[in-house]
Amino acid sequence: MMQWWIGAFLVLLAAGLGYYIRLIIGRYKIQSGEQEAKRLLDEARREVDGTRKEAGIQAKAEVLKAREAFEHETKSRRQEMAALEARMAERELNLDRKVAMIDKKNLAIEQKLAEVEKKEVELNQQRDEYNALIKTEREKLQRIAGMTLEEARRALMARIEEEVRGETGMLIRRLQEEAKENAERAAKKIVALAIQRFSSGHVSEIMTSTIALPSEDMKGRIIGREGRNIRALEAATGVDLLVDDTPEAVVISAFDPLRREIAKQTLERLIVDGRIHPARIEEVVAKVKEEMAEVIRAAGEEAIYAVGLQGVEPEMVRTLGRLKYRNSYAQNVLMHSIEVAQLMGIMAGELGLDVMLAKRTGLFHDIGKALDSEVEGSHAIIGADFLRRQGETQVLLNAVAAHHSDVEPESIYAILAAAADAISASRPGARSENTAIYVKRLEQLEALASGFSGIEKCYAIQAGREVRIIVQPEKVDDAGAMHLARDISKKIEQDLQYPGQIKVTVIREKRCVEYAR
């Protein structure tokens, strides 16, 4: 029994010791937890303080940044406002100036209106005075001369017409001088530039070609038995052969350069070949004609290439090449056409026009001369009809047809074509004519100018490019001289055919001579 109580006591003692130990351990844990919680609370407080400081610093930075942006924007606004105020002030100043100018102009206009009204009053007074003077003169004429009212009116009209004619003569002269000063300056500049930039030589072809012979015996072979060879050659080529004029040479004479060239090549080949008889002559002539067709086509292509054109119909190329063997006053028409094309292109460039259209017009302006032996009419109209069939534009067709005034010009290209054609044709050495034609043209010019009344003497000078007229001073006054020059120039344009232009100079002078003895 005693042992049981001891065991129970030990159990209770062990339980009490265990409870006490757990109690001590629990208190230790509580103290450790409180210390850990205090430590964590301190750390949290420190983190909160750091975060609060960082947030304060960041907020201050944002405030400073916003303040700087606001100040910059405010400064820009102030500058814009200052510039706007300056512009407004400048505009107000300009408006004030304009208002002052308008006031000044209004004042000047009012003054001019007052002057106009004053002049109108003076003109009315002068009109009344003139009417009164006319009435007085009319009464005097009726009273003194015994003239009727109708007769007096005619006499008065004649007197007024004479006065007005003198005034119009002076006005025409002044206007002509002003027009020449303004128009000729620009025109001469363009024409001179065109001539300066394009300058080509002119070779005057004669009407004969000479072929050298290897020996004098060759003439007999060319003539043939009873002249059959020379007759066959002349019939096949349409030229005249002169075999007796020049030793060891044969002269081919023909107005048609193409026939002359065919005959020349035929005769050269016959001389080299040595076989000269009618059948051989006809064979060689046919072959040369075939080759000349190719030469003509090549000449047309070379002309088109020289001008720089594209899209030309083959028929136009062949027809253009025929101009190589066509002359006008001994000027080669193909070379003349190329020159006119270049001149028109240069002048069109200076005037801001279509250069290629101008060149095309200039190159084909005389293409009708290759067809005028086949079709009747002016070569300008023939050429325009031919180009119309080839599908050319209306502007080009009118320019070709109008370059010799056969029709009215419809565009500036027609004017340029006439001007370039006159420049090329009137160059020194470009064209030539025989003495008879030259003298006849001068005589026609002098006779036409001498047909007007009041002319004392008339002279054609400078190869017919100027006519000087000396008038009788007691019959023609200064104003009449101006009218006479215009009338003569119009008459020359209507009645004469001439290249380039003719200057009409009317000279009026009064000489009083006395001798001291």
Domain that holds residue 168: 148-197
Check if the beta carbon of residue 296 is closer than 8 Å to that of residue 262. Answer: no
Hey, what amino acid is at 225?
Answer: R
Better-predicted residue by pLDDT, 224 or 3: 224
Helix, strand and coil in the chain, % to nearest 5: 75, 5, 20
Q: CA 255 to CA 485: how far, in whole Å?
A: 39
Is the pLDDT at 205 greater than 50? The verdict is no
Residues 279 and 351 in one domain: yes
Residues 296 and 389 in one domain: yes
pLDDT at position 398, please? 92
> Exposed e or buried b for every residue in 66-75, given b needs 16+ CB within 10 A?
eeeeeeeeee
Two tokens, residue 462: 């400078």
Q: CA 80 to CA 73: how far, in whole Å?
A: 10
Is the pLDDT at 490 greater than 50? The verdict is yes
Query: Is 156 domain-assigned?
Result: yes
Confidence of residue 436 (pLDDT cuts 50, 70, 90): low
What is the Cα Rg of the chain in Å?
A: 55
User: Rounded mean pLDDT of the chain?
Assistant: 80
pLDDT at position 1, please? 56
Confidence of residue 139 (pLDDT cuts 50, 70, 90): confident
Query: Is 476 domain-assigned?
Result: yes
Name the pTM for this structure.
0.47
Q: Which of 13-22, 162-171, 267-276 has the highest mean pLDDT?
A: 267-276
pLDDT at position 290, please? 87
Query: Is 499 domain-assigned?
Result: yes
Residues 461 and 388 in one domain: no
Q: CA 165 to CA 171: how far, in whole Å?
A: 10
Q: For residues 15-42, give the mean pLDDT.
A: 77
Q: For residues 459-479, give the mean pLDDT.
A: 83
Domain end call among 432, 452, 487: 432
Query: Is 422 domain-assigned?
Result: yes
Residues 263 and 373 in one domain: yes
pLDDT at position 76, please? 86
Residues 386 and 457 in one domain: no
Query: Is 58 domain-assigned?
Result: no
Query: Is 464 domain-assigned?
Result: yes
Residues 424 and 486 in one domain: no
CATH code where residue 490 lies: 3.30.300.30
pLDDT at position 141, please? 64
Is the pLDDT at 184 greater than 70? The verdict is no
Q: Which of 3-12, 110-119, 149-158, 495-504 has the highest mean pLDDT?
A: 110-119
Number of domains present in the structure of the chain: 3
> Exposed e or buried b for every residue in 418-435, given b needs 16+ CB within 10 A?
bbbbbbbbebeebbeeee
Burial class for 456, CB neighbours closer than 10 Å (0-12, 13-18, 19+)? middle
pLDDT at position 201, please? 46
Domain end call among 163, 197, 231: 197
pLDDT at position 258, please? 79
456 CB-near residues (< 8 Å, 6+ apart) = 470, 471, 472
Q: Which of 83-87, 145-149, 381-385, 492-496 shows the lowest mean pLDDT across its residues?
A: 145-149
Strand-by-strand arrangement of the 249-253 sheet? 208-212, 249-253, 240-242
pLDDT at position 394, please? 92
Residues 334 and 449 in one domain: no
Chain segment 165-176, per-residue pLDDT in tens: 666 666 666 666
Residues 392 and 259 in one domain: yes
Is the pLDDT at 260 greater than 60? The verdict is yes
Is the pLDDT at 502 greater than 60? The verdict is yes
pLDDT at position 194, please? 55
Query: Is 249 domain-assigned?
Result: no
pLDDT at position 202, please? 43
Residues 274 and 346 in one domain: yes
Two tokens, residue 268: 């050269």
**Distance (Å) of CA 504 to CA 85, 168, 368, 491:** 70, 19, 32, 11
Two tokens, residue 269: 């080949």
Q: For residues 129-140, give the mean pLDDT.
A: 78
pLDDT at position 292, please? 85
Residues 424 and 462 in one domain: no
Query: Is 78 domain-assigned?
Result: no
Chain segment 347-406, per-residue pLDDT in tens: 888 888 899 999 999 999 888 888 866 667 788 888 899 999 988 899 999 999 988 888
Check if the beta carbon of residue 243 is closer than 8 Å to that of residue 230. Answer: yes
Is the pLDDT at 270 greater than 80? The verdict is yes
Chain segment 303-338, per-residue pLDDT in tens: 888 888 888 888 888 888 888 888 776 678 888 889
Q: Which of 19-33, 64-78, 102-116, 451-465 shows the lowest mean pLDDT across its residues?
A: 19-33
459 CB-near residues (< 8 Å, 6+ apart) = 446, 467, 468, 469
Residues 494 and 426 in one domain: no
pLDDT at position 372, please? 65
Domain end call among 415, 432, 449: 432
CATH code where residue 269 lies: 1.10.3210
SS3 209: strand
Q: For residues 435-457, give the mean pLDDT.
A: 80
Residues 326 and 364 in one domain: yes
Check if the beta carbon of residue 205 is closer than 8 Å to that of residue 324. Answer: no
Q: Which residues pair with 240 in a beta bridge?
A: 253
